[in-house]
Amino acid sequence: MNRAPSLLERAAVHLVLVLAVAFALYPVLWVVATAFSGTVTPEPRALPIPQEPTLEHLREVVGSSRELADGSTVWLFGRQLLNSLTVSIATALTGVLIAIPTAYALARFSFLGKTAGVRALLATQMFPAVASAIPLYLILDALELLNSRTGLVLCYASTSVPFAIFQLRAAFEAIPIDLEEAAMVDGATRFQAFRMVVLPVARPAIAVTALFAFMSAYNEFILAATLLDDETMFTLPVMLQRFIGEYDAQWDVFAAGALVVSLPVMALFYLVQRHLVAGLASGGVKG
């Protein structure tokens, strides 16, 4: 019979967890303190508390605007936020929609060129995205897609699709084929078994894959800075970099921008986490 942990043991475990959380959150608290401090340079101190609290840095980031050539004024931060969300969502959808049938075929069927295709996909994951910056620039220039969201989505999809295929292939291989065979014995077609049996069970893996694809595109900087030259087409990481110059750094505004930029990812992670729990609860065989 297992012995229940004593009060001292439970207290020690909670103390270790509290220290681990404090260690992880301490740098984040410094970012928050820097973003809301009115002083130019925060003084070193143990507790990261904002000095002369102000919202001016947030206003400078969120309220940025630009006058266009036609005389109209555009809300610059709103346009850049829209660019980041549009590119990231399109990249995640493209990666998942292409990867689902491809990964299922690789997991369930044998066909000519399967091994070579898997090795080719694996080879694409061995090189960083920056290594393909020049070829991608030349291709987009020939297609007249430079400085556009469409061109950026195509570049990001070239890396998100292979990653999503490998992720989902492993998920489909872990699903017992007996579930599909049982559905087909009951009269379902292969596609119906895939849609009604495999996809609900694989929903947690699909959600995680889409989340990683979204975050990779949302946080990417090098390709976006290379392929975009119009400020109204910038994504948020490129916008943040503008606050760090060669001879001067606006760390207070940069910290405020970092907090604002992280909010969509935090909200998306919360929503996907709920879907993960629902998928795990609904998947499997019910007796």
157-174 pLDDT, tens digit per residue, is 988 999 899 889 988 998
What's the confidence (pLDDT) of residue 283? 40
The pLDDT tens digits of the residues spanning 256-277 come to 999 999 998 888 888 877 666 6
DSSP 142-170: HTT-TTSHHHHHHHHHHHHHHHHHHHHHH
Judgement on whether residues 101 and 203 belong to the same structural domain of the protein:
yes
Q: What is the mean pLDDT of the chain?
A: 86
Q: Is residue 22 part of a domain?
A: yes
Structural domain includes residue 190: yes
Q: Are residues 30 and 130 in the same domain?
A: no
Angle (CA) 65 67 69, round 5° = 150
pLDDT for the residue 276: 62
Residue 287 domain-assigned (yes or no) = no
CA distance 31 to 15: 25
My answer on whether 203 and 95 are in the same domain is yes
What domain range is 159 assigned to?
A: 86-282
**The pLDDT value given to residue 287:** 38
Question: Exposed e or buried b for every residue in 171-203, given b needs 16+ CB within 10 A?
Answer: bbeebeeebbeebeeeebeeeebbeebbeebbb
Taking the C-alpha atoms of residue 253 and residue 256, their distance in angstroms, rounded to an integer, is 5
What pLDDT is attached to residue 99? 94
CATH number of the CATH domain containing 173:
1.10.3720.10
Q: Is residue 73 part of a domain?
A: no
70 within a domain of the structure (yes/no): no
In a shared domain, residues 39 and 146: no
pLDDT at residue 43 tops 60: yes
Q: How many domains does the chain have?
A: 2
Q: Is the residue at 149 inside a domain?
A: yes
- Asked if residue 64 belongs to a domain, the reply is no
Residues 117 and 225 in one domain: yes
Same domain (yes/no): 110, 30: no
Report yes or no: 164 and 99 within 8 Å, Cβ to Cβ.
Answer: yes
- For the stretch 215-226, pLDDT in tens is 999 999 999 999
Residue 133 reports pLDDT greater than 60? yes
In a domain? residue 76: no
What is the rounded (10 degree) CA torsion for 273, 274, 279, 282? 150
> What is the pTM assigned to this prediction?
0.85
- Whole-number pLDDT of residue 1: 52
One domain for residues 49 and 103 = no
Give the model's pLDDT for residue 40: 59
| Coil vs helix vs strand at 128 | coil
Query: How many percent of the chain have pLDDT more than 90?
Result: 40
Indicate if 265 and 183 belong to the same structural domain.
Answer: yes
pLDDT at 132: 84
In this predicted structure, what is the pLDDT of residue 244? 85
Q: Does 86 score more than 50 pLDDT?
A: yes
Q: What is the pLDDT of residue 123?
A: 83
Same domain for 45 and 116: no
| Shared domain check, 132 and 36 | no
Same domain, yes or no, for 18 and 148?
no
**CB–CB of 80/236 below 8 Å?**
yes
Give the pLDDT of residue 113: 86
How many angstroms separate the CA atoms of 145 and 151, rounded?
Answer: 5
- Give the model's pLDDT for residue 2: 64
Is residue 87 scored above 90 in pLDDT? yes
- Confidence (pLDDT) at 284: 43
Share of the chain above pLDDT 70, in %: 92
Specify the pLDDT at position 68.
76
Q: Are residues 31 and 112 in the same domain?
A: no
